[in-house]
Structure 1
Amino acid sequence: MARQTISVNEPNDRWMKQKIEENEFSSKSELINDLIRRQREQEEERLLLRNELIKGENSGLSNKSMAEILTEAKQRVKNGQ
C-alpha cells in the first residue's frame, strides 16, 4: 500500500479522532481510504448518469406517449435492467 503524509486542519482532525473513538473506524488511514472510496463511487455514478443523459439527448424525440414510456421503464426496472 502506498504511504502518504497529509495535513488536516484542527476541526477535521477532531472529527477524525471522534470517529475513531466511536469505533466507526480503526484508524485515520481507514477513515481516509473510506472517504476516498466513497468519493470515487460518487464520481462514477455522476459519470454514468451524465453519459445516460447525453445518450438520451442524442436519441432524439420519441413518438411514444408518456404512458408507454413509463410502462417500458417500469418493465426495465422489473427485469433488472
Structure 2
Amino acid sequence: MARQSISFTEPNDEWLKAQVSSKEYSSKSELVNDLIRQARQQQQHIDLVRLKLEKAEKSGFTTDNKDQILADSKYRLNG
C-alpha cells in the first residue's frame, strides 16, 4: 500500500478524529480511503448519468408531454 503525507485544515482534522473516536473507523487512513472510494463511486454514477443524457440528446425530440415522460421514466426505473 502506498504511503502519503497529507495535511488537513483544523476543522477537517477534528472531524476525522471524531469519526475515529466514535469507533466508526479504526484510523484516519481507513476513513480517508473510504471517503475516496465513495467519491470514486459517485464519479462513476455521474459519468453514467452524463452518458445517458448524451444518448438521450442524440436520440432526438419527443412529442410526449411531461407526465408521459415522468411515467415512462418511473416505469423504466422500477421495472
- TM normalised by structure 2 equals 0.81
Give the number of equivalent residue pairs. 78
Stretches of 4+ moved more than 2 A in 1?
Answer: 65-79
Gaps of 5+ in 2: none
Q: Deviations over 1:7-26 (max 9, x none)?
A: 11111111111000111110
Per the alignment, in what secondary structure is the counterpart of residue 56 of structure 1? helix
CA RMSD of aligned residues (A): 1.8
Q: Deviations over 1:8-48 (max 9, x none)?
A: 11111111110001111100000000110111111111111
Percent of aligned pairs with the same amino acid: 47
> Taking structure 1 as reference, are residues 69 and 22 closer, same or farther at Cα in structure 2, changes over 3 Å only?
same
- TM normalised by structure 1 equals 0.79
1:23 is matched with which residue? Answer: 23
2:56 is matched with which residue? Answer: 56
